[in-house]
Amino acid sequence: MQGVLSQVEGFIELVKGHNYEQGLKDLTGFEYIWVIFVFHLNRNWRPLTNPPYSDGKGKKGVFATRSPYRPNPVGMSCVKLDRIEGNRVYISGSDLLNNTPVIDIKPYIADYDSFPTARRGWLEHVVKEAFAIVYEEAATRKAEYLKRHGVDLSGVISSQLSHNPHDTTRNKYIKDADGLILRFKSWRLHFTITDQTVTIKDIRSGYTDFSTALGNDTSADIKVHQLFKRHFRQ
């Protein structure tokens, strides 16, 4: 969802025994780094994709997007470098998943990597209708609990609902008896839209039992769901 929309903290662990730690010399002092990695959970690619923001002219070629569904599943993210301890590089503002294989680390150098006046292709024609995001108390408590357990939903909420939530080119949410629901992995975010405000009312687990994993959930993901349902007595 782009790391700039995330507050997730974590670390990249370099394999010991290859002198990788020496390669980290002088990296401290850079505020941001590029992380090149593998989309290790993807099993296919799509020549056309539907990005989070639309210009109303249909799907885009995968090479004109940041879609993870690529012929070669290589990703890149610019993340904040917090500190380095031994063979661990601590980062924040990351959109990488747990156990993502990292190919390389490079320093972000604003002199060469930033072109604020560069043309933005089809994105020039995207009209972003901005909505405010507010959380009810119950949703706030659940979001904070999940963040403490390594699940930060703020990025997906911001990217999907703060701009053009009614975008008809994407199925951003479903409607049911409880109202509007944004599905992210195996989490269900219940919300309402009034005027230009999206209100997050509740966050629920998508599990009714734990006999079968949902989607690409790992045992660690399922454990968080179990703790969540036990804590909030769902």
pLDDT at 152: 85
Looking at the structure, do residues 136 and 119 belong to the same domain, yes or no? Answer: no
- Does the pLDDT value for residue 22 go beyond 70? yes
- Does the pLDDT value for residue 169 go beyond 80? no
pLDDT at 74: 96
pLDDT at 6: 61
- Residue range 96-154, pLDDT digits in tens: 888 999 999 999 999 999 999 999 898 888 777 789 999 999 999 999 999 999 888 88
pLDDT at 105: 98
Structure tokens at 179: 């109202």
For residue 163, give the CATH number of its domain. 3.30.2310.20
- Does the pLDDT value for residue 61 go beyond 60? yes
pLDDT at 170: 72
Looking at the structure, do residues 95 and 174 belong to the same domain, yes or no? Answer: no
Looking at the structure, do residues 68 and 177 belong to the same domain, yes or no? Answer: no
Please list, in sequence order, all residues whose beta carbon lies within 8 angstroms of the beta carbon of residue 211, skipping any fewer than 6 positions away. none
Question: Which of 78, 96, 123 is the C-terminal boundary of a domain?
Answer: 123
- Residue range 201-226, pLDDT digits in tens: 999 999 999 999 998 898 999 999 99
What is the number of domains present in the chain? 2
pLDDT at 212: 92
- Does the pLDDT value for residue 1 go beyond 60? no
Structure tokens at 219: 């045992």
pLDDT at 7: 64
What is each CA distance from 66 to 49, 118, 189, in whole angstroms? 10, 17, 24
Looking at the structure, do residues 150 and 111 belong to the same domain, yes or no? Answer: no
pLDDT at 30: 97
- Residue range 184-201, pLDDT digits in tens: 999 999 999 999 999 999
For residue 101, give the CATH number of its domain. 2.40.30.70
| Strand pairing category for 197-205 and 132-135 | parallel
Looking at the structure, do residues 105 and 191 belong to the same domain, yes or no? Answer: no
Looking at the structure, do residues 152 and 226 belong to the same domain, yes or no? Answer: yes
41 versus 8: the higher-pLDDT residue is: 41
Question: Which of 89, 123, 157 is the C-terminal boundary of a domain?
Answer: 123
Looking at the structure, do residues 94 and 203 belong to the same domain, yes or no? Answer: no
Amino acid at 38: V
- Residue range 68-103, pLDDT digits in tens: 999 999 999 999 999 999 999 999 988 888 899 999
Looking at the structure, do residues 100 and 20 belong to the same domain, yes or no? Answer: yes
Amino acid at 100: T
pLDDT at 60: 92
Instruction: Quickly state the pLDDT bin for 155 (edges 50, 70, 90).
Output: confident
CA 232, CA 106: separation in Å to the nearest integer?
A: 42
Question: Which of 71, 102, 123 is the C-terminal boundary of a domain?
Answer: 123
Looking at the structure, do residues 141 and 108 belong to the same domain, yes or no? Answer: no
CA 146, CA 169: separation in Å to the nearest integer?
A: 30
Looking at the structure, do residues 64 and 139 belong to the same domain, yes or no? Answer: no
- Does the pLDDT value for residue 14 go beyond 90? yes
Full-model pTM: 0.71
- Residue range 46-60, pLDDT digits in tens: 999 988 777 878 899
Looking at the structure, do residues 17 and 88 belong to the same domain, yes or no? Answer: yes
pLDDT at 4: 58
In which domain, by residue range, is 46 found? 3-123
Q: Where are the alpha helices (H) located in 149-183, listed in sequence order?
A: 154-161
Looking at the structure, do residues 108 and 189 belong to the same domain, yes or no? Answer: no
Closest by Cα among 208, 85, 203, 99 to 152: 203
